[in-house]
């Protein structure tokens, strides 16, 4: 945007009579607007996806879903005793569907409702849980003593006569696998980044760096497959735990997927520390190791932290690895027990959930909670990085 020389602009007529430098050419103007629209559409897409997920999940947040097993059906013979509005609500029909439907179909629909009640096995009919709407918040987050269980428990069993939707085991499972993955990946990835950017000879760096980054090109389903067949057996023979497929194996496999993400960002951050820092440290007599550990790493800490946060986002959103390795929704903090992550649950169950039904709504609610979790962690990361930077630059 530097103004051109007045003399020159007066002489040249530019393209289509518009002076160069004063105003953009029409083509450039179009290009600019086009790029603006493209970038806007990306933002719009994210917004639309979020709105869609939130809209599908809203009935759960507002408690509009009902999963009570035993409900009193209206016999088809009493159809005329009820007003059309009542019937329409009872049969879950939209006004449009209701007006189009003839009486015989309506009667059939009511008969199906009665049949559904008749189909309930005898032992469930008198079950105290059969009258509960299991999608109320207290059943979603607090333990409940279901019939047949000895104590209040967190249970995720969304398919069956009495559907149990407690989401806590899924959150615990997600955190368990993600944290194990990070504990495994962060030291390895940051260590490798320090080595490659500060200590390695250029020849070694040229080999090691692309090899680690190539890891990110391995499809997660292949990592999952490897973990399922090889890693699980190897780790079990080393650690002698009881369950072959557990959160520990999944976490380590997640680590493989996360290492290249953390490595490449941390390495960038370490490399972009000004050379003057290193030179000054070395000139003062520090060894290369001291320089890397005490000067360069602290200076690059915001970047390393950002790498960890991004790694967290990648790990919490990873689906395939956890899906293949472990997926029992057990409520336990032990790393050698199985775990079921939120993404696994959505991926495995969405296909069979009845469109618009309670299970479907709850899966969408899990999706929106996951979205909120990653959004908040990224926000927190951003905030911390900002504070770090200010501190390092001596502004605070």
Q: Which residues bind other proteins (CB under 8 A)?
A: 91-93, 97, 101-102, 105, 108-109, 112-113, 115-116, 119, 121, 123-124, 146, 148, 153, 155-161, 164, 169, 229, 232-233, 242-245, 323-324, 326-331, 337-338, 340, 348-349, 351-355, 357
CB 156, min distance to other proteins, A: 8
Maximum Cα–Cα distance across the chain: 96
Nearer to other proteins, 213 or 349 (CB): 349
Angstrom distance (rounded) from CA 318 to CA 344: 8
Strand partners, 164: 157
> What pairing do the DSSP bridges indicate for beta strands 164-165 and 156-157?
antiparallel
CA 163 to chain centre: 24
CB 102, min distance to other proteins, A: 7
User: How far are the Cα atoms of 55, 86, 285, 392 from residue 95, in angstroms, in the given order?
Assistant: 20, 11, 82, 63
Strand partners, 18: 15
Nearer to other proteins, 35 or 48 (CB): 48
* Of 269, 251, 254, 255, the residue nearest 306 (C-alpha): 269
Nearer to other proteins, 316 or 324 (CB): 324
DSSP 281-344: HHHTT--HHHIIIIIIHHHTHHHHHHHHHHHHHHHHH--HHHHHH---------TTS----HHH
Nearer to other proteins, 128 or 285 (CB): 128
Q: Is 22 left (phi over 0), alpha (psi -120 to 50) or beta?
A: alpha
Nearer to other proteins, 80 or 119 (CB): 119
CB 299, min distance to other proteins, A: 46
CB 320, min distance to other proteins, A: 10
Angstrom distance (rounded) from CA 292 to CA 297: 6
CB 369, min distance to other proteins, A: 20
Nearer to other proteins, 161 or 216 (CB): 161
CB 223, min distance to other proteins, A: 15
CB 245, min distance to other proteins, A: 6
Nearer to other proteins, 158 or 303 (CB): 158
Three-class secondary structure of residue 179 per DSSP: helix
């Amino acid at each position: 945007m530097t103004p051109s020389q007045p003399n020159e602009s007066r002489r040249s007529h530019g393209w289509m009579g518009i002076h160069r430098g004063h105003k953009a050419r029409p083509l450039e103007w179009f290009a600019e607007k086009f790029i603006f629209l493209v970038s806007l559409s990306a933002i719009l897409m994210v917004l639309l996806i979020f709105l869609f997920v939130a809209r599908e999940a809203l009935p759960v947040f507002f408690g509009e879903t009902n999963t009570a097993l035993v409900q009193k059906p209206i016999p088809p013979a009493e159809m005329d005793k009820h007003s059309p509005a009542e019937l329409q609500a009872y049969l879950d029909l939209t006004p449009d569907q209701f007006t189009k439907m003839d009486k015989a179909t309506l009667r059939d629909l009511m008969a199906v409702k009665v049949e559904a009640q008749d189909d309930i096995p005898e032992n469930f009919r008198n079950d105290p849980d059969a009258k509960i709407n299991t999608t109320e918040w207290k059943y979603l987050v607090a333990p409940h003593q279901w019939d047949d269980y000895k104590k209040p428990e967190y249970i995720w069993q969304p398919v069956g006569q009495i559907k149990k939707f407690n989401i806590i085991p899924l959150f615990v499972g997600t955190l368990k696998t993600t944290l194990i993955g990070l504990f495994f990946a962060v030291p390895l990835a940051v260590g490798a980044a320090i080595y490659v950017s500060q200590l390695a000879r250029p020849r070694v760096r040229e080999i090691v760096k692309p090899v680690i980054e190539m890891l990110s090109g391995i499809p997660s389903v292949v990592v999952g497959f490897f973990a399922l067949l090889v890693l699980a057996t190897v780790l079990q023979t080393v650690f002698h735990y009881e369950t072959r497929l557990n959160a520990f194996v999944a976490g380590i496999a997640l680590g493989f997927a996360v290492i290249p993400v953390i490595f490449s960002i941390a390495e960038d951050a370490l490399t972009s520390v000004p050379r003057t820092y290193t030179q000054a440290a070395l000139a003062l007599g520090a060894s290369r190791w001291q320089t890397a550990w005490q000067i360069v790493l602290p200076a690059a800490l915001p970047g390393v932290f950002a790498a960890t946060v991004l790694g967290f986002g990648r790990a919490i959103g990873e689906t395939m690895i956890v899906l293949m390795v472990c997926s029992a929704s057990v409520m336990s903090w032990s790393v050698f027990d199985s775990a079921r992550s939120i993404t696994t649950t959505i991926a495995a169950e969405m296909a069979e959930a009845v469109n618009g039904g309670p299970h479907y709504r709850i899966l969408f609610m899990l999706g929106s909670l996951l979205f909120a979790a990653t959004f908040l962690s990224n926000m927190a990361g951003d905030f911390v990085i900002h504070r770090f930077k200010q501190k390092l630059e001596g502004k605070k």
